[in-house]
Chains A and B, each alone.
Chain A
Amino acid sequence: MLETLLDIVSIAALALGLGLATVGLVGLARFDGIANQLHAAGLVAGPGLFLVLFAAIGTGKAESITSALLVALFVLITAPLSAHAIAQADRRRRENPDEDLGRAAARPGGIGGRAAGREEEGWSPPAARSCLPIAWCVGEEGGI
């Protein structure tokens, strides 16, 4: 009886967690700008991950539940810190673009070359992105 109940709860938590992770990934693909994408990323690293770890109660094993609890505790500490670091980097990059060494402005063909000219020419988000994953990777401009 109790085992069946735990099974149902853990399967529901697993399905909901994976669904939230899917929603977060779709948001990461569709949103533009780091500040917007951070919200979608928080959905994967926060509720999605916690629900999947919560499903450990369905295994009924003490060591699984303890390990899952430890991971949840640890992610609870580190996920906001790394999100904060990324947000701070984005803000600093927007406020003083001259200081931006990581983007190596004079690399038109290479990695980061397309991003380098964004702010100078009043970059605007692309109107619509193709839904085909292969088209995402290759792109019209040759991709990475």
Chain B
Amino acid sequence: MPEIAAVIAFAWATVLLVAGGLLILRSDDPLERVLVLDVLVAIVIVVLTTLSYLRDVSYYIDAALGLALLSFVATLVACRHVIRGRPF
């Protein structure tokens, strides 16, 4: 992949990450914050993937795999916390 394409993709993914952060700051509902945080993790996975294309190494995608696993558990527990007031 040409380097310029990877650079543009990485820059755009970073812009999306900042936009997602502003979205979290703006939301006024706990469940909406959980949802935006879930989306934000997907964007971080995109950032790590484009970084791996940019630097031409593969282990950033492995970090993304761990992040996806952790965020899934975090979302489930945060949802339970919103509706019950406690995680379990």
A7-32 to B contact mask, C-beta < 8 Å, 1/0: 10011001101100110110011000
The one of A21, A71, A74 in contact with B16, judged by C-beta atoms closer than 8 angstroms, is: A21
How many A-B contacts are there with CB distance less than 8 Å?
175
Judged by DSSP, the binding face of A is helix
A73-112 to B contact mask, C-beta < 8 Å, 1/0: 0110011011101101110110000011111000000001
Count, chain A residues at interface, CB 8 A: 63
The reply to whether B42 and A34 form a contact with Cβ atoms under 8 Å apart is no
Which residues of B line the A interface, CB within 8 A? 1-2, 5, 9, 12-13, 16, 19-20, 22-23, 25-26, 28-32, 34-36, 38-39, 42-43, 45-46, 49-50, 52-53, 56, 58-59, 61-62, 64-65, 68-69, 71-72, 75-76, 79-86
Which residues of A line the B interface, CB within 8 A? 7, 10-11, 14-15, 17-18, 21-22, 24-25, 28-29, 34, 37-38, 41, 44-45, 48-49, 52-53, 55-56, 58-59, 61, 63-64, 67-68, 70-71, 74-75, 78-79, 81-83, 85-86, 88-90, 92-93, 99-103, 112, 114-115, 118, 133, 136-137, 139, 143-144
